[in-house]
Amino acid sequence: MPFLTDPFDDDKLREECGIFGVIGVQDASSFVALGLHALQHRGQEAGGIVSYAPGTGFNNARRFGYVRDNFTSASLMETLPGSLAIGHVRYSTAGSKGQTQIRDVQPLFAEFARGGCAIAHNGNLTNALALREELIERGSIFQSGSDTECIIHLMARSIQKAIPERMKDALRRVEGAFSIVAMTRTKLIGVRDALGVRPLMLGRVGDGWILASETCALDIIGAEFVREVEPGEMVICTAGGVESVFPFERQRPRFCIFEKVYF
């Protein structure tokens, strides 16, 4: 499917991919599997889950087909321990043409200087092709056809140290309609594009926090709907609570002194 030049060019209702993340609960990957099952209507081609546990590090499973056919296996879910996990169900709008390739199934994972990060996104990055060409010319080696991988390479080139700051740098370069869930070893991160075209919900279950494409994914696990993530907002969920920032806000224009004199 070609990239759209504008997020509003296609006026048909399409639910492109579903994303879900949870922090602060036991067996987080089981919550993610249930959430993805509720979001199955948003993507039926493939699904994936990444989790983190201090003893085993980051663990992931990516499979073709329905959530119910893959992530209901006890033996598989045992490989995804921890109290922090994110997941994705895929409806391909970018990446391999024709049959889906496993390399394009999200979440995608990368190791940075200060630790690993997994990321999954819903939507289209309308400048992904231009970014990809630029990054390849600068030496980046892409492993997939997913536009999500552009974000990872942009993060890798950021001079910031903390992963949320790297993500802010990267997302200021991308254009389009998107919502994102990402995770580090201690943080669950959600971002919504500046126009708020793609949905993202914040929920609460026990002492944990949830991010999901739709409230139906909160209902299935008995989570409380807190609010929508606002357009252009980044939420950073940790054991201590939720931090909110707006990385896409533009600074007020600074006028030259000669302009002030002239006017």
Backbone conformation region of residue 167, classed left if phi is above 0, alpha if psi is from -120 to 50, else beta: alpha
Beta bridge partners of 180: 121, 191
Nearest-CA neighbor of 3 among 92, 90, 89, 64? 92
Cβ-contact 94, 124 below 8 angstroms: yes
216 tagged catalytic = no
C-alpha distance across the termini of the chain, in Å = 50
The tokens of 162 are what? 């903390």
**Axis crossing angle, helix 163-171 with helix 148-157, rounded to the nearest 10:** 120
Helix H or strand E segment including 24: none
Cα–Cα distance between 220 and 215 in angstroms, integer? 9
**Single-letter amino acid code for the residue at 157:** R
138: tokens are: 């600068």
Element containing residue 50 per DSSP (H, E): strand 46-53
Out of 17, 117, 150, 237, the active site residue is 17
| Catalytic sites, residue numbers | 17
